[in-house]
A and B are shown apart, each in its own frame.
Chain A
Amino acid sequence: MKTLFSDLYKKANTGFWPIVIAFVFMIVGTVTLFQNPRSLGSFLVLMTTPVILYFMKMPMKIKVFIGLLIVVIILPVIGIKNIFILEVIFQMAVFAALALGLNIVIGMAGLLDLGYVAFYAVGAYAWAIFGSKQMSLLYSIPGAAPANAEFFLDARWFWLFLFLGIGLAALTGILLGLPVLRVKGDYLAIVTLGFGEVIRVLALNLDKPINLTNGPQGITPIQRPPLPPEGVLMFFRSFLEPLVGHEVSDAEFYNVMFYFLALIIIAIVIVVATRLEDSRIGRAWTAIREDETAAIAMGIPLVKMKLAAFAAGASFAGAMGALYAANRTFVSPETFSFQVSIGVLTMVILGGLGSIPGVIFGASAVTLLNIQILQNLSLYLSDLRQSDAVIPIINFAWKDLSNQLDPAKYQKLVFGIILILMMIFRPSGLIPAERRQRELGEEKE
């Protein structure tokens, strides 16, 4: 059976077959999703196409062409047709960027950072505080805001804050790193974990003595950057509206814009990460990861290089945080819990430490699992509960299933299982980086 499959795969992986398969998956996914925008299966078929592109042999140009076609044209159009899918792909993009940033810290430099969400929070709160009415409410009690408060900055300042978020998060990374990076690896994990909690507690409690973060209620409304001028929008409307069959509202344009912003950030992260990997700094990181003592002996400035890794990883999280705050128009301390840090870690581990395609795959898979598959499972179970169905052999009626069994609420369980199983059976991840594969002693494929 196994040889049958591998033979089939080998046959399919020659000549023009891969191209045909990729096109079939793309077209089937697109068409079915277009007719039935709520279908999870069609969405999964469409999202399989990039995986096919990555694994099967075909000319680079065609890979890039199909990839761009899906990411730049098909997904946004389907997203406008069904706003929920746009939300899913936006989240996938946000987490992919976060995971890529964390990958620099853990995968390349080998520093386990369990408080990565702190940098994300710094970026988000930077724009949240200045891009909302919060600056004029500094001396009022949370919840008792005067009605006539004004926005502190114009919405256009967002673009500056996107870069400021990068700078601020990098600065926070350096400030945290300076005292901490001299300690050994396991301590670093705990200190960063503590730091993540510190940032959350600060966000929770800095509503006094001056009301900086508005405490547990969070800050809202936060401004969004202005849409492109009306002329550009009209141009897009003219061919989008007949395609999706309804009027395209500003809200939908906003979502598409944020999606593309996230894509641009991801593209920048990928370029920076790949360039860094083969650079002097990247090689120094690898050396530190493999053996600190040997690295020092070879003249690598240890603390400086570790700080660079921390700052580089943090900066992307900062940019993503500012983007997230503007997209949601709302931030609250709960968004930045420890669970998010571990979630991002799970994505990196699942995909493969140090492997860029792996990390993107991991982020997409875990996000999909979280907000689509688990949700659908919950819906399915609640449907079963309504029905009269009975499990035949053990004679268990679905009606008696407890309401508490709600898969969507058990993300931590899923994260935990993924982390343990990956560590035991495939520590280098599903799509391992070449160097890691050698290091962790797995047989080569």
Chain B
Amino acid sequence: MKQIAANPVYKFFLFPIGQILLFALGASVVLSLATVLLAYLFKFNVTDFDLVERTMLLLPQVIINGLTIGFVYSTIALGYTMVYGVLEFINFSHSEIFMVGGIVGIQLMAYFEHIGVLATMNEYLVITLAILLALVVSGALAVTVERVAYKPLRGAPKLVPLISAIGMSFFLQDIVRLILSLTTGEFNVILPKFGTFDEFWKIAIPGMEEPLRIQTKSVLIVGVAMLMLVILNFLVNGTKVGKAIRAVAQDRPSASLMGINVNQIISITFLIGGALGGAAGVLFALKATKLDPFSGFFPGLKAFTSAVLGGIGNLTGALLGGLVLGLLESFSASYLGIFTNGAFGAEYKDIFAFAVLIIVLIFRPSGLLGQTVGQKV
């Protein structure tokens, strides 16, 4: 047993993958059960059709949608939670770094289309290149932002860097809009059509009339996100840099005394978080197919909610929180309209996320997986 635990293949690859799958499965099962229960409760409200049957029919599709968006949220949430772990401050501009990643990715594909090679290139190569470019650009941007707007403020009262981060977020939104509208004339960027990502895999499920339809995109998004999560896990738990990051997060002065270059480690944290955010941006762009400079705001807010939901500062928590929030959002978007007979629709899904955040903060202020920390005097 001990040997298995020490084997790096198990420790850094199989174990985290198992954990992710377990979380995804567990969250889906719990939420599905709750929804079916609600369907029985609300049965009287709907007379046109059998509510329970309709609920069951929609369920697989809803879960798939929820997991897809949930993995994107998880990947963004990791950026928030890493920075929070090290600096104890909310990196408000992370949502813009995510957005920049998405836009850079789309622009690369648009460039390929412009020079006429998009149709002939291997589609997976295009996606990989876009993600790599987004990783680099967003990572570099995150480090620059840290140097310019946060580093001079270390040691200031807590509100000060937070306000600076809000300013940075606004600044980035408008500067991206300015650059886009000066170069292309408009600030919406649209994903060019290529490859076979929009096609559906049809899986017949015994006992159901309709086959289950899974978009290739969804599989791709989940796969890439999982890959990045595993790499991150290895980076944080299996390398020397990761050890240094954890040390700085735990106790900055002591880490500094142990010969760790704290400033460098903080920069690396921003680099990793930003790079993850940028890659998540490309994945989100694949799903949303259209981005503008302001479309980072809501996913960013929800990713932050996920981080809080899981327990901010806790990497596993961010993963779980993202999955739960993605599923919750997908469930509320699909079922709210059906359950209330059309009185409330999918437009309330954003409110739902905040309601969850507030409830979690009331009953478990340190999140689902967070530990309660005593007040320091």
Q: Which residues of A contact B (CB under 8 A)?
A: 106, 110, 112, 114, 179-180, 182-187, 189-191, 193-195, 197-198, 201-202, 204-205, 208-209, 293-294, 338, 342, 345, 349, 402, 404-405, 410, 412-413, 415-420, 423-424, 427, 439-440
In the complex, the answer to whether B348 meets A179 with C-beta atoms within 8 Å is no
Interface stretch (choices B59-67, B271-279, B281-289, B354-362): B354-362
Given A185-B158, A185-B159, A415-B167, also A424-B358 (CB < 8 A)? no
In the complex, the answer to whether A194 meets B301 with C-beta atoms within 8 Å is yes
* 3 nearest CB pairs, A to B: A419-B167, A416-B171, A416-B170
In the complex, the answer to whether A187 meets B171 with C-beta atoms within 8 Å is no
Whether B347 is near chain A, meaning CB under 8 Å from some CB there, is yes
| B239 smallest CB distance to A (angstroms) | 29
Chain B residues near A186: list those with CB within 8 A.
Answer: 89-90, 158, 162
In the complex, the answer to whether A423 meets B160 with C-beta atoms within 8 Å is yes
Encode contact with A along B63-92: 1 for CB under 8 Å, 0 otherwise: 000000000000000000000000001100
Q: List 22 A-B contacts (CB under 8 A).
A: A183-B365, A187-B308, A194-B354, A197-B354, A198-B351, A342-B170, A345-B163, A402-B182, A404-B182, A410-B177, A412-B170, A413-B171, A413-B174, A415-B167, A416-B169, A416-B171, A416-B174, A419-B170, A423-B149, A423-B153, A423-B156, A439-B157
Whether B21 is near chain A, meaning CB under 8 Å from some CB there, is no
| A224 smallest CB distance to B (angstroms) | 32
In the complex, the answer to whether B159 meets A110 with C-beta atoms within 8 Å is yes
For the residues of B in contact with A, the DSSP-based class is: helix
| A352 smallest CB distance to B (angstroms) | 13
Given A186-B158, A419-B164, also A193-B301 (CB < 8 A)? yes
Chain B residues near A183: list those with CB within 8 A.
Answer: 361, 365
* Supplied contacts A114-B166, A424-B153, 11 more A-B pairs, CB within 8 Å: A182-B365, A194-B357, A194-B358, A198-B350, A201-B348, A404-B182, A405-B182, A410-B177, A419-B166, A423-B161, A440-B157
In the complex, the answer to whether A180 meets B149 with C-beta atoms within 8 Å is no
Whether B4 is near chain A, meaning CB under 8 Å from some CB there, is no
Chain A residues near B304: list those with CB within 8 A.
Answer: 190
Whether B375 is near chain A, meaning CB under 8 Å from some CB there, is yes
Bound together, the chains give a CA A198 to CA B351 distance in angstroms of: 6
Chain B residues near A190: list those with CB within 8 A.
Answer: 90, 301, 304-305, 308, 357
Chain A residues near B361: list those with CB within 8 A.
Answer: 179-180, 183, 187, 191
In the complex, the answer to whether B164 meets A424 with C-beta atoms within 8 Å is yes
Whether B207 is near chain A, meaning CB under 8 Å from some CB there, is no
Given A190-B90, A190-B357, A413-B174, also A423-B343 (CB < 8 A)? no
In the complex, the answer to whether A195 meets B354 with C-beta atoms within 8 Å is yes
In the complex, the answer to whether A420 meets B357 with C-beta atoms within 8 Å is no
In the complex, the answer to whether A420 meets B171 with C-beta atoms within 8 Å is yes
Whether B173 is near chain A, meaning CB under 8 Å from some CB there, is yes
Whether B178 is near chain A, meaning CB under 8 Å from some CB there, is yes
Bound together, the chains give a CA A63 to CA B350 distance in angstroms of: 51
Chain B 323-359 residues near chain A, CB threshold 8 A: 343-345, 347-348, 350-351, 353-354, 357-358
Bound together, the chains give a CA A412 to CA B169 distance in angstroms of: 9
Bound together, the chains give a CA A365 to CA B107 distance in angstroms of: 38
